[in-house]
């Protein structure tokens, strides 16, 4: 079996976003592993319009070149890590919109989360777990939650996320779980491909 490939989706497109810090941090942690391949996927590179098709992707083909490019990119991955900023107790609109623009490309694949913001982005992550279930993904228990203390340490204190060992411990648990599930579900998808409902 080929090594599972994981898409690290950067879920914020704001000019001064914090997302680049956890993206670089998790990329460095994953580069030391040989059980997973990975690629950072920046939503800035996929400027999707607000979803307004007549039917959701679960019920019909998407329209537009941007949506087709996004779906084609997602199809290359065996699992996902979503970098989740919490705005007003929820995920960013751009991330939710990106999730709404695909369906089959997410099915039967594991997803986990790195949240940041108030309470470590936990409220936004919880909402996305429900979305992931509707997309027929397998949301994993272990995630990383980067709270305000660590964020301020990075933004104002000259620290890096690697200076907070508890985050590394959470990331290790998350990646171990992601590795197991991505392999298990890759085998299962190859043995019994999804069929149209």
List of E strands, 107-158: 110-116, 138-139, 144-146
**DSSP string across 54-109:** SS-TTTS---SHHHHHHHHHHTT-SEEEEEEE-BTTB--HHHHHHHHT-STTTTT-
The angle at the Cα of 69, spanning 67 to 73, to the nearest 5 degrees, equals 115
- Indicate the pTM of the whole model: 0.94
39-48, 62-71, 75-84, 132-141: the lowest-pLDDT one:
62-71
Give, in order, the Cα–Cα distances in Å from 114 to each of 14, 44, 61, 163, 175.
Answer: 17, 18, 30, 17, 11
Q: How many Å apart are CA 68 and CA 55, to the nearest integer?
A: 15
Residue pair 7/39 in contact (Cβ under 8 Å)? The answer is yes
pLDDT of 193 > 80? The answer is no
For the chain, the straight-line distance linking the first and the last C-alpha, in angstroms and rounded, comes to: 28
- Domains in the chain, start-ordered, CATH in brackets? 5-51+68-189 (3.40.50.360)
- 98-140 per-position pLDDT tens digit: 999 999 999 999 999 999 998 999 999 999 999 999 999 999 9
User: Which pLDDT band holds residue 9 (cuts at 50, 70, 90)?
Assistant: very high
Q: Is 21 helix (H, G, I), strand (E, B) or coil?
A: helix
Mean pLDDT of the chain: 94
Q: What are phi and psi of 111, to 5 degrees?
A: -140, 140
pLDDT at 64 over 90: no
Residue 92 has phi, psi (to 5 degrees) of -65, 150
Contact between 54 and 60 under an 8 Å Cβ cutoff? The reply is: yes
């Amino acid at each position: 079996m080929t090594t599972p490939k994981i898409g690290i989706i950067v879920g914020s497109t704001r000019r001064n976003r914090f997302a680049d810090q956890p993206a670089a941090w998790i990329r460095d942690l994953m580069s030391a592993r040989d059980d997973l391949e990975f690629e950072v996927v920046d939503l800035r590179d996929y400027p999707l319009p607000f979803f307004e098709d007549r039917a959701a992707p679960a019920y019909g083909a998407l329209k537009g070149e941007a949506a087709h490019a996004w779906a084609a990119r997602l199809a290359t991955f065996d699992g996902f890590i979503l970098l989740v900023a919490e705005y007003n107790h929820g995920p960013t609109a751009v991330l939710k919109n990106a999730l709404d623009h695909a369906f089959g490309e997410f099915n039967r694949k594991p997803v986990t989360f790195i949240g940041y913001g108030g309470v470590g982005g936990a409220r936004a992550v919880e909402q996305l777990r429900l979305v992931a279930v509707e997309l027929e993904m397998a949301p994993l228990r272990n995630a990383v939650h980067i709270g305000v203390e660590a964020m301020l340490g990075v933004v104002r204190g000259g620290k890096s996320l690697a200076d907070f060992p508890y985050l590394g411990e959470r990331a290790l648990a998350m990646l171990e779980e992601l590795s197991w599930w991505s392999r298990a579900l890759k085998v299962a998808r190859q043995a019994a491909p999804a069929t149209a409902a």
